[in-house]
């Protein structure tokens, strides 16, 4: 198909293939958003008199057709189309003739892709939040269920003090709740409408950016037209920085579970259905899923870095380098969503071997508690510490269950504070549902 | 001095030197916070009966002495002290005898360093915000001052469309305002009190974590004691992710200013006082400060990466790897604060060569505007585009000042929306002032 | 198809999809190498009596069939196959029955994938070297062609001293020649045969690793079987570190050409066929290919980082995390090969505007030369420097062509040392041809 | 002191402080090299008639004085000196008057710092090689000593097959021998003399670059003067890429040792002298040194990244951004040298608990060997695998020592190939000694 900037000469084939890359494949995820943006843009062009009502209706009908095709996986973007914007404009020109040639009035592919990515990121952050909500509920359940199962807490990978499976799961839960705050903060920050910035310098037409923003459900217009252009990559990296935090925590969960399900520990068992085997060693049952979650945390971290590296030395205004940002963002989102769901699956189905956990609570892990008992008898802590250090070989027997029960200060094994996290889960559930429904309604109105 | 964990044998000298590293130097920045934490902790120990009022007063007096010494740069931490916590406990034992040996009751160096870093990060984020507030004011002034100075806007580093110095400065301004949101979001997230988590598993004493949190001015207790430990590095990387965003934008500003002050452009001139020279080439006047800001954006990005890499594969609980996080965080903060201040200095003193800017607005940059004029006469955009593409050599003369004046839609060169940013500056100024004063008051109360 | 480790229960579908990922797609590039490895392995099993001659011939025939199918793109790997090794073993069992079940004797997928990647990297490094050889030849030609075209040399992005287009191209050339050394060093290091290490702990059979290594054309056996396993990721990152160096230099070339073809410079013009246009701005002709080369240098850098991050915290022995290494390596190689070819295309077709280059040599760039002329009259350099610094406004006219001609010391614009680089190009050409033909012959012998 | 480019106005104090940074501290490591470079440069200026013999002798004497002062830590570089080059030139002018003002003839600080860093990197790579040689010898000894101590080999962090402590140590050894190849390859590549490139564009004087290169002991001149400038950062990142490989392997060693010395494993015990304790928990003995080696591998990786990020988008020629490269290079070298020495110390003093190692060899790790025994009885491997998989609960008893003894193929536990590594250690020892002595002799001659 014709390029939008066609000037009558043929571009070198290897240059074309290189510059398009596999963008046309990734752009499939953007068809819906590009069409919604075009409907809102057309409605604005109608308002300022560039389009007649009839023209607007013709364009809207075709754009809704494209969305319907895309929903069925039937709207293809060919490498020769360069990108989603061109594929759609070409379709419109084919379907609507001259009217189709009017849609690109007062906009650029620069602000179009900015819009598409913005809508895409908003939707995907909601999807990430869906995953977090579900995972937090699982963690809440598991933390409650195992709140009284003791296990050794570790520092320096050595046994340190009595802990509990509930404390561990509660720690995961609170990390995910913090991550949910990061996700909603990021959502609120990027919820700004870029359309109307054109190539980063505005247009000499009285366009109504507020109208477009409202039609598309943004909370505000991103004002300065050059900043819109400069925020490409910035907003993507803000989104990725949330995903990185989630993946770092999932990597910790994976690492813990790999260790605690090794034969030397045996605290946890993964169900067979979640494990894979070895081609050579008949006896093996491997926690591949956890190892890959750990590895993919490095991948998402690299995606984040890649975006930041790409934009770091660039001058103001659009640079084609921005195209290379799309893929790491999309990969980062895809991987993170998948990893949340899989961690949820693993934690929700993990088997806790209570006896192994209790038996692992060997005497030395009670040393600190012994020292603090001396303190409560009036011995200064540093002296109690030295006394106990010498006594190690003769530590009295301790009941680990009683031990964790007795630690009742805020956040300790005996008081996990789970009602508090339950409330927080409710709060993020409500937020996410509200945002999701608002967006859904906005898009229905736009198409309707 | 004695180590807190001394067990009567000497540690290998090279191991000691390696494990301590230059931590004892970086820890100087933490003395004040460690003492404040100890006062609050002691006050809590008093409440639960571990300390008598007399003992508490003795400890508090000594801790206030240390703060006073540190203020004068007179409290040294020696390599043999290992860290700030040990240096202070050793001082207390020396000054207060047995009473000093009670201060470490029911806490660990793990939650102490977590507390110190938390207070440190809170203070430094406020300092960063100070810099942002000042820089935003400068940008606001400069954007207003040069709002009617046209310059070519660029895409692909080619001349694209008419822009203005005001639009450029306004873009910088809005990026910094978004960054201020990131900073305050990060502040709110990390504003959770870690003390009382001990080694990550709580203690068998009825400590009052809420009291400590309130005394230290935190908005809440960070609940799950293991999550407190697991959040080491997480919170630091959240802070660094804000700094990275700031540095990315400063790098863009630096890159633009380097380009626009090169002889081929000459839009901007840096005052002599802000430039350096060459040892070989007599004529040179170099924008070193801008080049170094650009380079140091890579440094802060690396600091961010370093923290994330350090924590990525770690299991739950304290790992000594955490120590290596302190330095990149502190460096990142130091560099960012400095770079904001220097960008502020450069932008506040840059000379804009209006004539050079106007003369650079050569005819081809008006092509898009011409095409849109045809659109307003009823020509479909894609046809207008082709018509103008052929006409390029004969573009009519255009007045660039009139051009930018005429673009009056939201965020365009003719309507920069500066009153809006002025309001936002006021808002962040108030937030920052409020938080700063609240912290100051809290610390005075604690010491008083 | 059946998994090699099938134990009679079904793995969870989302776990299966997650662990396989898109590995089965990337593995298509490995079919040939996996078959070659299997032929060599089978020949060794024949020698030690595990296979009969007849069995060996049956297996070899089937393996050659698979290679032939793969050459035609007709050997598919399905997600249910998990990976290339399983797809091939399943094919063999289907074709050869019980004989097919013998091929996996005394090996693991661990050493199979290590072998496949090793052969793949060797072949791809040769392909990279092909590109370097061609690009160096282009640079040699261009450096000779423009050796007497002066242009301003820059430091701090400011005009500094007289330079030449030949000096610039010669600098690119020498960087690529250093890169060729890195590539051949990497090739030599990784040219070690991993097969026979099995799962990293060897096997209780008298396998002949030297025979396998010789059959596959390796220069030696990688000895310690656990080190073989531990070198996964290490060798990949060594290859990637060469690619990163190449991409860093291509990024510099791209950046230079973007700048020097901007209208303010106009030293270079890219042919229309290598440029793209704007959807909005009719006049634009953009150097997208160069911007994308610059951006993709960040991508390859991220691929390198990703591999290093993945392996950084792993214990000895195989970890499933390794699977995640394949993709960044393959992407890094693909991008680098493409970017070398495209830079070659651009530099080979760039138009140098001699007049623009000469006219840009304004008087101030001769200041240093003037100072050194004073030195040759006996003035101490630091005084000459100060004298000229004051005189700047009255610099005498200079002929830039004469200037560069006159600088005849080693490596200066007047003596680019091109015969030396010509010799080096010959040397790498010979090396590459030799290695390539040796591998080709080895593989033919193996299949024949 | 006066700046070399002083033009009579004062630079802004905060700009000065920012641009100098802490460079003047890091530059202390370069004094010796800067003076040696100046002696060689002066000797060349003597040859081409810029200096008289008397002048040369005066300069040489002063430069030798500075080296002597620096050896005693008595040559200070003040922030006001900007850098090592200025401090030395100022000293020379103070000591030698007008003669001192001649030393900077025909050179720039650009090629001076390039020279200093080149000599510094060469020396430090030799120091790194010293560490590798020592560590390899330790590993050789330990591998021999424990070659017959079995332990379970792991994959997926699960027990997999019989391994041995000797195999593990041998794997470490071979990784370090590969690293030694990387180090010597890097040394050879960067062993090119940059002096005489001046600011990257040569000088209009008949300087003799080959003479300078020979005097300083380089294997050749780095030819193209602009490439010299462009290789700043490139060569540093090549050096860092070797260090990263070393640190990745040390991180693996550290991770293994942390795991294997945890109570659940108990294969290794670290001597008390190499461990530290807890301030809270009286019983703790922590492997901090290993955790910090692991963490610092992330630091060196970040240093590597930082250098690559800094140079990635830069145009040809000197950019001040290069200054920011010095610190990560120096840190990377310092950390790596220290970590090699400490790993050497740990491995050389580790206690292997033979009984714990043997007892850990539980029946299931022999499953693969059992399957291969069936193969030797004629059962096709895939069937043997399935048979054994079903039998797991009834695995016959196995003698792990006999098992590892019986695996005698190349690189297997029963044939570690240690004579081969012994030869390689000898080879790198000789190379390193030769290079070190050649450099020493060259420098003595130069000063003599």
CATH assignment of the domain containing C72: 1.10.275.10
User: So what's the ipTM on this one?
Assistant: 0.96
Contacts A13 to C, Cβ<8 Å:
none
Whether C316 contacts C197, CB under 8 Å: no
Query: What is d(CA D240, CA D331) in angstroms, rounded to the nearest whole number?
Result: 10
pLDDT over 90 at C3, yes or no? no
Which residues constitute the domain of residue B431? 110-358+421-447
Asked if the Cβ–Cβ distance from B178 to A375 is below 8 Å, we say: no
Same domain, D208 and D298: yes
Give domain status of residue D416, yes or no. Answer: no
pLDDT in the model for residue B34: 97
Backbone angles phi, psi at B203, to 5 degrees: -135, 160
Point out the catalytic residue in the list D156, D279, D394, D409: D156
Contacts C406 to D, Cβ<8 Å:
204
Angle between helices A234-260 and B234-260 (to 10 degrees): 150
Point out the catalytic residue in the list A156, A279, A394, A409: A156
Same domain, B248 and B337: yes
CB atoms within 10 A of CB B46: 18
pLDDT in the model for residue B387: 87
Residues β-bridged to residue A153: A161
Residue D289, min C-alpha distance to chain A (Å): 11
In this structure, chain A runs to a length of 448
CA-nearest of D23, D31, D212, D236 to D125 is D236
Name residues whose C-beta falls within 8 Å of residue C15's C-beta, 6 or more positions apart in sequence.
A273, A274, A276, A288, A289, A342, A345
Query: B248 or D286: which carries more pLDDT confidence?
Result: B248
Query: What is d(CA D133, CA D428) in angstroms, rounded to the nearest whole number?
Result: 7
Give domain status of residue B40, yes or no. Answer: yes
Query: What is d(CA B149, CA D273) in angstroms, rounded to the nearest whole number?
Result: 70
pLDDT over 90 at B192, yes or no? yes
What does the pLDDT average to over B389-401? 78
Whether B435 contacts B187, CB under 8 Å: yes
Query: What is d(CA A81, CA D32) in angstroms, rounded to the nearest whole number?
Result: 61
Give domain status of residue A316, yes or no. Answer: yes
Residues A291-300 as b or e (16 or more Cβ within 10 Å = b): bbbbbbbbbb
pLDDT over 60 at C103, yes or no? yes
Query: What is d(CA B270, CA B267) in angstroms, rounded to the nearest whole number?
Result: 10
What is the pTM assigned to this prediction? 0.97
Asked if the Cβ–Cβ distance from D160 to A362 is below 8 Å, we say: no
Best mutation target, B92, B202, B209, to test chain A (most A CBs within 10 A): B202
The separation between CA A309 and the C-alpha centre of its own chain, rounded to angstroms, equals 20
Structure-token pair, residue A195? 């359309």
pLDDT in tens, chain D (448 residues): 467 777 777 788 888 888 888 888 899 999 999 999 999 999 999 999 999 999 999 999 999 999 999 999 999 898 888 899 999 999 999 999 999 999 999 999 999 999 999 999 999 999 999 999 999 999 999 999 999 999 999 999 999 999 999 999 999 999 999 999 999 999 999 999 999 999 999 999 999 999 999 999 999 999 999 999 999 999 999 999 999 999 999 999 999 999 999 999 999 999 888 888 777 777 778 899 999 999 999 999 999 999 999 999 999 999 999 999 999 999 999 999 999 999 999 999 999 999 999 999 999 899 999 988 998 888 888 888 888 888 765 667 789 999 999 999 999 999 999 999 999 999 999 999 999 999 999 999 999 8
pLDDT over 90 at C255, yes or no? yes
B304 is catalytic: no
Count Cα neighbours of D329 within 13 Å in the Cβ-side half-sphere: 29
Name residues whose C-beta falls within 8 Å of residue A241's C-beta, 6 or more positions apart in sequence.
A182, A186, A304, B238, B241
Contacts A277 to C, Cβ<8 Å:
3-7
Query: What is d(CA B127, CA D145) in angstroms, rounded to the nearest whole number?
Result: 58
Structure confidence at residue B25 as a pLDDT band (50, 70, 90): confident
CA-nearest of A94, A88, A5, A3 to A42 is A88
Whether C400 contacts C163, CB under 8 Å: no
Same domain, C428 and C378: no
pLDDT in the model for residue A47: 97
What does the pLDDT average to over C392-407? 84
Structure-token pair, residue B292? 């170094």
pLDDT in the model for residue D392: 65
Q: How confident is the model over B82-101, as pLDDT tens digits?
A: 899 999 999 999 999 999 99
Same domain, D437 and D389: no
Residue in chain D closest to C383 (alpha carbons) equals D101
Whether C206 contacts C194, CB under 8 Å: no
Point out the catalytic residue in the list B14, B156, B279, B409: B156
Backbone angles phi, psi at D161, to 5 degrees: -145, 165
pLDDT in the model for residue B394: 66
Q: How confident is the model over D342-386, as pLDDT tens digits?
A: 999 999 999 999 999 999 999 989 999 998 899 888 888 888 888
- Can you give chain A as a three-state secondary structure string? CCCCCCCCCCCCHHHHHHHHCCHHHHHHHHHHHHHHHHHHHHHHHHHCCCCCHHHHHHHHHHHHHHHHHHHCCCCCCCHHHCCHHHHHHHHHHHHHHHHHHHCCCCCCHHHHHHHHHHHHHHHHHHHHHHHHHHHHHHHHHHHHHCCCCEEEEEECCEEEEEEEHHHHHHHHHHHHHHHHHHHHHHHHHHCEECCCCCCCCCCCCCCCHHHHHHHCCCCEECCCHHHHHHCCCHHHHHHHHHHHHHHHHHHHHHHHHHHHCCCCCCCEECCHHHCECCCCCCCCCECHHHHHHHHHHHHHHHHHHHHHHHHHCCCCCCCHHHHHHHHHHHHHHHHHHHHHHHHHHHHHHCEECHHHHHHCCCHHHHHHHHHHHHHHCCCCHHHHHHHHHHHHHHCCCCCHHHHHHHCCCCCCCCCCCHHHHHHHHHHHHHHHHHHHHHHHHHHHHHHC
Give domain status of residue B1, yes or no. Answer: no
Residue D310, min C-alpha distance to chain A (Å): 9
Same domain, C127 and C220: yes
Residue of C156, C288, C309 with shortest CB distance to B156: C288
Same domain, C134 and C183: yes
Name residues whose C-beta falls within 8 Å of residue B26's C-beta, 6 or more positions apart in sequence.
B326, B327, B330
CB atoms within 10 A of CB B113: 27
Structure confidence at residue A283 as a pLDDT band (50, 70, 90): confident
Query: What is d(CA C356, CA C343) in angstroms, rounded to the nearest whole number?
Result: 23
Answer with the one of A105, A129, A164 that is the final residue of a domain.
A105
Query: What is d(CA B314, CA D292) in angstroms, rounded to the nearest whole number?
Result: 12
Asked if the Cβ–Cβ distance from A160 to B238 is below 8 Å, we say: no
Structure-token pair, residue A117? 């990515």
Structure-token pair, residue C109? 């997928």
Structure confidence at residue C16 as a pLDDT band (50, 70, 90): confident
Same domain, C65 and C213: no
pLDDT over 60 at A401, yes or no? yes
CA-nearest of C329, C336, C337, C335 to C121 is C329
Query: What is d(CA D78, CA D60) in angstroms, rounded to the nearest whole number?
Result: 23
Q: What is the CA radius of gyration of chain A?
A: 28
pLDDT in the model for residue C222: 98
Asked if the Cβ–Cβ distance from C158 to B286 is below 8 Å, we say: yes
A10: left (phi over 0), alpha (psi -120 to 50) or beta: beta
Whether D388 contacts D369, CB under 8 Å: no
Query: What is d(CA D55, CA C116) in angstroms, rounded to the nearest whole number?
Result: 65
Give domain status of residue C415, yes or no. Answer: no
Query: What is d(CA C299, CA C332) in angstroms, rounded to the nearest whole number?
Result: 8
What residues in chain B have their Cβ under 8 A from chain C's Cβ atoms? 155-161, 258-259, 262-265, 278, 280-288, 291, 305, 309, 312-314, 360, 362, 364-365, 367-368, 371, 385-386, 388-389, 392
Best mutation target, D157, D164, D364, D411, to test chain C (most C CBs within 10 A): D411
pLDDT over 70 at A393, yes or no? no
Mean pLDDT check: name the lowest of A268-282, B301-315, C312-326, D359-373. Answer: A268-282
Residue of D160, D173, D224 with shortest CB distance to C416: D224
| Chains in touch with D (≥3 Cβ pairs < 8 A) | A, B, C
Asked if the Cβ–Cβ distance from C4 to A279 is below 8 Å, we say: yes
pLDDT in the model for residue A96: 93
Name residues whose C-beta falls within 8 Å of residue D300's C-beta, 6 or more positions apart in sequence.
D240, D243, D244, D247, D331, D332, D335, D336
Q: How confident is the model over A290-308, as pLDDT tens digits?
A: 999 999 999 999 999 999 9
Same domain, B101 and B128: no
Coil, strand or helix: which one is B351? strand
| Host H or E run for residue C102 | none
Same domain, B293 and B384: no
Give domain status of residue D409, yes or no. Answer: no
Give domain status of residue A411, yes or no. Answer: no
Query: What is d(CA B181, CA B196) in angstroms, rounded to the nearest whole number?
Result: 30
pLDDT in the model for residue C392: 65
Same domain, B82 and B179: no
Query: What is d(CA D355, CA D352) in angstroms, rounded to the nearest whole number?
Result: 9
Mean pLDDT check: name the lowest of B117-126, B140-149, C17-26. Answer: C17-26
Same domain, C250 and C313: yes
Name residues whose C-beta falls within 8 Å of residue B245's C-beta, 6 or more positions apart in sequence.
A234, A237, A238, B178, B179, B182
Query: What is d(CA A84, CA A66) in angstroms, rounded to the nearest whole number?
Result: 11
Whether B272 contacts D9, CB under 8 Å: yes
Residues β-bridged to residue A159: A154
CATH number of the domain bearing residue C274: 1.20.200.10
Whether B31 contacts B66, CB under 8 Å: yes
pLDDT over 80 at A391, yes or no? no
Best mutation target, C283, C301, C374, to test chain B (most B CBs within 10 A): C283
DSSP labels, B13-65: HHHHHHHHTTHHHHGGGGHHHHHHHHHHHHHHHHHTTSS-HHHHHHHHHHHHH
Give domain status of residue A415, yes or no. Answer: no
- The total number of structural domains in chain D stands at 3
Asked if the Cβ–Cβ distance from C248 to D312 is below 8 Å, we say: yes
Best mutation target, A1, A4, A5, to test chain C (most C CBs within 10 A): A5
Answer with the one of C46, C76, C105 that is the final residue of a domain.
C105
Answer with the one of A105, A138, A171 that is the final residue of a domain.
A105
pLDDT in the model for residue B187: 98
Structure confidence at residue C143 as a pLDDT band (50, 70, 90): very high
Structure-token pair, residue C445? 């012998």
Maximum Cα interatomic distance, chain A, rounded to a whole number of Å: 92
Same domain, A275 and A328: yes
Whether B309 contacts D301, CB under 8 Å: yes
Residue C102, min C-alpha distance to chain D (Å): 5
Whether A380 contacts B102, CB under 8 Å: yes
Residues B150-179 as b or e (16 or more Cβ within 10 Å = b): bbbbbbbbbbbbbbbbbbbbbbbbbbbbbb
């Amino acid at each position: 198909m014709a390029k939008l900037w066609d000037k009558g000469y043929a571009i070198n084939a290897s240059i074309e293939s290189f510059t398009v890359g596999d963008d046309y494949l990734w752009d499939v995820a953007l068809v819906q958003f590009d069409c919604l943006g075009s409907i809102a843009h057309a409605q604005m062009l109608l308002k300022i008199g560039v389009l007649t009502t009839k023209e607007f209706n013709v364009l809207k009908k075709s754009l809704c057709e494209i969305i319907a095709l895309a929903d069925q996986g039937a709207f293809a973007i060919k490498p020769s189309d360069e990108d989603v914007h061109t594929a759609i404009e070409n379709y419109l020109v084919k379907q609507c003739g001259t009217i189709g040639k009017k849609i690109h009035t007062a906009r650029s592919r620069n602000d179009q892709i900015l819009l598409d990515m913005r809508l895409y990121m908003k939707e995907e952050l909601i999807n990430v939040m869906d995953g977090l909500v579900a995972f937090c509920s699982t963690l809440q359940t598991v933390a409650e269920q195992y709140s009284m199962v003791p296990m050794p807490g570790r520092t320096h990978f050595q046994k340190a003090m009595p802990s509990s499976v509930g404390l561990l799961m509660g720690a995961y839960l609170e990390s995910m709740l913090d991550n949910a705050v990061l996700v909603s903060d990021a959502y609120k920050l990027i919820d700004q409408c870029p359309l109307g910035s054109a190539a980063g310098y505005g247009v000499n037409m009285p366009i109504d950016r507020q109208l477009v923003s409202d039609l598309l459900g943004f909370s505000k217009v991103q004002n300065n037209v050059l900043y819109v252009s400069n925020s490409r990559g910035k907003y993507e990296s803000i989104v990725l920085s949330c995903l990185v935090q989630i993946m770092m925590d999932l990597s910790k969960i994976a690492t813990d579970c790999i260790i605690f399900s090794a034969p030397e520990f045996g605290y946890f068992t993964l169900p067979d259905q979640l494990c894979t085997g070895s081609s050579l060693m008949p006896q093996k049952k491997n926690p591949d899923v956890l190892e890959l979650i750990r590895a993919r945390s490095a991948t998402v971290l690299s995606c984040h870095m890649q975006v930041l590296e790409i934009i770091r030395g660039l001058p103001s205004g659009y640079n084609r380098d921005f195209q290379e940002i799309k893929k790491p963002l999309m990969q980062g989102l895809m991987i993170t969503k998948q990893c949340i769901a899989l961690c949820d699956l693993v934690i929700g189905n993990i088997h806790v071997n209570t006896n192994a956990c209790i038996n692992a609570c060997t005497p030395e892990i009670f040393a600190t508690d012994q020292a603090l008992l001396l303190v409560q008898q009036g011995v200064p802590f540093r002296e109690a510490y030295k006394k106990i250090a010498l006594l190690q070989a003769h530590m009295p027997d301790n009941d680990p269950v009683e031990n964790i029960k007795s630690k009742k200060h805020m956040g300790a094994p005996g008081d996990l504070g789970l009602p508090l996290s339950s409330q927080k889960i409710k709060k993020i559930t409500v937020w996410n549902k509200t945002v999701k429904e608002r967006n859904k309604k906005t898009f229905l109105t736009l198409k309707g």
